Structure formats: C-alpha cells, structure tokens
Chains A and B, each alone.
Chain A
Amino acid sequence: MKRGLSLFVLICMILGFIFLYAPIIVLIIFSFNKSKLVTVWQEFSFDAYVNLVNNKQILDAVWVSLKVASLSATLAAILGTICGYVLTRFTKFRGRFLFLGLVSAPLVMPEVITGLAMLLMFIQLDGLLQNIFGIEPVGRGLVTLIIAHTTFATAYVAVVVQSRLAGFDRSLEEAAADLGARPFKVFFLITLPIIAPGIIAGWLLAFTLSLDDVVISDFTSGPGASTLPLVIFSKVRLGISPEINALATILILIVSVGIISANIIGRQREKKN
C-alpha cells in the first residue's frame, strides 16, 4: 500500500465498520444494563448474566442446540463426503446429472418448503411406524431435528468436499496403490487425510448452519427439544430480555476467540513451514 490511507478511504472504512458492527456493539453494551427494559440504560451490572445462568430454559436450549448441531454436522460430514466422492470419482454412471441436481437442491430450496416437507414426512413416518410395527408415535423432538438438519447440511458438505476433490491429484492414489496399498487403505491413508481440510470446513459450515437455523427447526422440533434460536425467537415475541443480550455477548465472545485462535495457529504453522 502507498504511504498511509487517504482520508476518503479511511472514512469509507470507518463507516463500513460502523454499519457492520454498531448493532452488535449496542447489543453488548446493553447486556450490562441493570434495567429490565432493554432499550433504556439504567446502570452497569452483571444482573443479566446472573439471571442467564439461572435460566434453565435457555441453558437447556443451548444444550439442545449444541447436541443437534454437532450430531447433524458429523452425520452430514460423513454423508456429504460420500456424495462428494461419488460425484467427482464416478463420472459415468446413469443418472449422475439427476443425482447432482438432487444433492445440491437443498442449497436453493426455500427453507419454508424444506421445513414443511420434513414435517409432513415425519407425520407420515410416525403413522407408518404405528400402523405397521405398532410402535408408539415418537412425535417431533431431538431425533427429527437432527435428521432435518443433517438433510440440508449434507448438501453443503458435499459441495465443499467436491471442490476439494476436484483439485485432487489422482496420481497420489495411483502411487499408493502401486506401493502396495489396497483400495480401502488408499482411501483412508491418502485420500481422506488430503481432503480432510475440506471435510472439516464442511463440518464447521454444517455446525454453524444448524446452530443458526430457525425455520426448519420450527417445523421439525417438538416439546422438550427447542433449540436456542427457537427459544430466543419465542422470548423476543414477549419482549426482549437482557438475558438474551447477555447470551448473545457470550456467543460472540466464544466465536471471536475461536476465530482468532484459529488464525494464530494457522499463521504459526505457516511460519514453521
């Protein structure tokens, strides 16, 4: 960059950052507000945080969200990797194009439709289970949430893994086979470690998408299995409470620490190399 920033660029930058971060900063500031009314500043206090720790509903929701997100992200990572692998490696099977479309459709499908479809399917499944196997209806809950989240997250993982595999040098696998590794070992010793960053990226994407999701969760969750966004949403309808602000602040803190440490580790690795 040429010496320093011009005034114009500097102003643009400041305005941009204000635009991006002002709401979050306001939110953080008000998490330390003593007043029960979110919009009126009274005085500095940690009341909201104390209340948060004692709010079982929110803590339960956090726990549900984390469970759903990590399980569905893991399932999606496995399924998505298989999809991505098949799509890049088996380029000549019948119906590949259809399969390709079907895998990526959830990316563009309106969430309301996916959610509704899921709901209808779960109701039908419940009916089937009851009529054929005589199993008591399970209803909506943790399991249906995980299935629904896995479904849409798989598409994202598949796309990420596919792009990682597209740049993969096939001669590495051939070399491994040539050196005596059976196909199974080639996959686990060579292919998997090399595409691992893609799978991890896909997992993280699936994890955040799941944590974040409201619409599909709303359709597929049931009593006792409310995710955090659902609880926040329902609480906001009754008026915003400072506890939500406190919770949001903690989440932001965790995310920032995560990103910053990931960056530091990445940079140190780069230096070492």
Chain B
Amino acid sequence: MSEKGKPGSPEPWRDKSSKPYIRIEHLVKKFGEFTAVNDVSLSIYKGELFSLLGGSGCGKTTLLRMLAGLEIPTSGKIFIDDVDMATVPPYERPTNMMFQSYALFPHMTVEKNIAFGLKQDGIARSLIAERVSDILDLVQMKPYAKRKPHQLSGGQRQRVALARALVKRPKLLLLDEPLGALDKRLREQTQFELMNIQEKLGITFVVVTHDQEEAMTLSTRIGVMNAGQIVQIGTPQEIYEFPGTRMVANFIGSVNIFAGRVIEDEPDYVLLHSDEANADLYISHGIACAPGAEVWVAVRPEKIVASRTAPAETRNQLKGIIKEVAYMGNLSVYLVKLETGKIVKVTMPNQVRSSENRLTWDDHVYLSWLSTSGVVLHS
C-alpha cells in the first residue's frame, strides 16, 4: 500500500501537501423544486472523524446518503480514494452506513445481521465466523450473538448496527445520528467507545448529528450546515472559539451577541459602539473594515465575569441587575438585565462551596470580559 492519504500529521487538513481521502466537489441535490444540498465542496482526510452538524432539514443526511450511494446527486462529484463514485451503485461502494433507525434485519439474529455483509462478498464461511466473533468482542456483544434485534435494548441495537457496518472494514464509515436514540448516560459512554473503535481501526468516519455536544466530543473536524450549505469547517475548538457567523455561534453552545458599529479599526484592535449594550466594545484584533460598518460581537457566557465591584479595566464593561439564577452544580448561570433592557447570559464556576456572598437575584453587578474574548461577526 502506498503512503498517500495516510495521516502524516494529526491535522492533515493544515498540511498543503497531504491528499484528501474523500473529495466532494460542488455537490448539489434537488428534490423537485427543493434544494436539499446546495453546492457543497469538502475534503476529508484519512482517519478523520468528520461531523456534519446542523438542524433538521439542513441537508446533512442527504449529503451522507449521497456518499453511501443511496441518493444520486443532481450535479457535482464525489471521489473516495481517488475513485469517482458517480456510476458506483451502493452495493459496490467502499462505504458502510449505520442508519439512524439502525435498520437491523428483524428476521435475523445478531450474528447473522453482522455476517450479512461478509456473505455478500463471498468470503469463506470460517473466515466470516472469525470476523463476526472479533467484531462482537469489540462491541462487547458476544453474549447476545444468538438474539434477535427485538430482544435487545436500544444501546445493544446500536452496537450491533455499528458492528454490522464495521465488520466489512469499509474505507469510509457513515453514521447517521449514531447516538440519537440513547439516553444521556449511555450516550456519553458510547461516544468514548466510538472514539476508541475509530482509533483502533483507523477507519475514516463521517458522522451526521444535530447534537453539538456530540459533534464537539467526537470530531476531528466539524462541518456546520445550514440550508443545504456548509457554513463553516473547523476543529471543534475553532468552531466554538471563532464562529464565522451568528448562526454558527448560536448553534454551537450559547452566546451573547451585541450588534454594533465600528468606530475605529486598526490592524491590532477594533473599537465599536453597541447601542444594544450602550457601551464601547474593544477587541484586540483588526477586522479590516470601514468605520461605520455594522457588525456583531459574540461573547460566550463563560468568558464573562460578573462582580459586585467595578473591575479595574474599563473597556468591555457593562452594568446590570441579576434577573435569574440557575444553580447547575458545577457552575451557575445568571441572566443579567442591562440598563438598555438587553439580557446577557453569564456562567461562572462555583469555586467555593459556601453559598454566602454568592451573587443572587436583584444584585447590581458589573460584567466584563477580556479584549481577546469577543469575536467580531460580519453576518
């Protein structure tokens, strides 16, 4: 095997010389008048766990189904390992999919479900048995091999579906809302199992999800989709810390957004005035746009500090009254009403145990954040 496509660095997408394993070029899918996927271009590298994140109806599942060959693109191309997939039917693609409904064959046992794909390839029976047994060990479902799908719990079904998709060792594994049907506890547990399996087998994963937490934990990179288009691609950290648009900022985690007008824009800082907050906001990087331009500043709730006394730094300082307090255990969430009426969300870790001196309802507080914490958004 050649070395091409092998992850040379842990972040192959930064390396100009590395070759993408999956190339999606100007992909469009229309259902009648409705455009489900609108001109998507995307490169995914070998060994990645790439998440397509978006609300329902954003086209993420359609994109996944086109990769599997279950939908035929209206236009555009898909290459997997340099092979054009245009004329390759689903049963000949080097991909396997884990369906949102799991789609386990109800009339077959767990074992037979998993062996199904191998049988289609005409693999020797003894080898099939061996590989089924191995994969059952991997997903810890050995004791349930002889059961039918309806005798399994949701979590067990999910493992079988995963095993069935993995057992053929596809070049690309597609997962449609893999953890959607699980409760929170099982979800977290399986997330880590999924990551372990992915690392162990080195298969490239593309995961579709609407759950931003799931995408954040699992992925090497996330593609945020909206209305059939990919609006931003980046590592979980990039997407969270440097969202490109208000939509992305809102979709991933919670955020406070202040509409503002640029007063000064220099290479190393921007000063804006926000009428909404009735304050000047200062961000320590230039944005290269004309004074007077309308922009938005996004500040994550955990980046904001609330205190009863005024902080020394006067920039990025707001004043307000605490209207709502939610105690979450590890942290508390405060909703602070500014004089202008705007509500700002602040989360603060509960560092000390005692409840004395803790901020509470109707306290007058100062809100402040570092000049590096805000992100300027243009749309």
Grouping DSSP codes into helix (H, G, I), strand (E, B) and loop, the A interface class, with mixed when no group exceeds half, is helix
- In this complex, how many residues of chain A approach chain B with their Cβ under 8 Å: the count is 18
A121 contacts partner chain B, Cβ-Cβ < 8 Å: no
Find A179's partner among B100, B101, B106, B164 (CB 8 Å cutoff): B164
Q: Are B150 and A174 within 8 A (Cβ)?
A: no
Q: Spell out B's residues near A (CB within 8 Å).
A: 68-70, 89-93, 95-97, 99-101, 103, 105-107, 116-117, 120-121, 148, 150-151, 164, 168
* Distance, CA A66 to CA B303, complexed state (A): 83
Q: Are B70 and A180 within 8 A (Cβ)?
A: no
Instruction: Return chain A residues, CB-CB under 8 Å to B93.
Output: 178
* Distance, CA A169 to CA B69, complexed state (A): 18
Nearest A residue to B90 by beta-carbon distance?
A177
Q: Are A273 and B148 within 8 A (Cβ)?
A: yes
Shortest Cβ-Cβ A-B pairs, 9 listed: A179-B117, A180-B120, A175-B103, A171-B103, A177-B90, A193-B107, A171-B99, A178-B97, A180-B91
Q: Are B107 and A178 within 8 A (Cβ)?
A: no
Q: Are A169 and B103 within 8 A (Cβ)?
A: yes
Q: Are A174 and B120 within 8 A (Cβ)?
A: no
Instruction: Return chain A residues, CB-CB under 8 Å to B150.
Output: 273
Q: Are A174 and B121 within 8 A (Cβ)?
A: no
* Distance, CA A190 to CA B151, complexed state (A): 19
Instruction: Return chain B residues, CB-CB under 8 Å to A26.
Output: none
Q: Are B148 and A174 within 8 A (Cβ)?
A: no
Known: A177-B91, A179-B168, A273-B151. A194 touches B99 (CB 8 A): no
Find A171's partner among B101, B106, B121, B164 (CB 8 Å cutoff): B101
* Distance, CA A178 to CA B91, complexed state (A): 5
CB neighbors of B among A45-65 (8 A): none
Q: Are A174 and B99 within 8 A (Cβ)?
A: yes
A181 contacts partner chain B, Cβ-Cβ < 8 Å: yes
Q: Are B103 and A180 within 8 A (Cβ)?
A: no
Instruction: Return chain A residues, CB-CB under 8 Å to B101.
Output: 169, 171
A176 contacts partner chain B, Cβ-Cβ < 8 Å: yes
A182 contacts partner chain B, Cβ-Cβ < 8 Å: yes
A172 contacts partner chain B, Cβ-Cβ < 8 Å: yes
Q: Are A185 and B120 within 8 A (Cβ)?
A: yes
Nearest B residue to A190 by beta-carbon distance?
B105
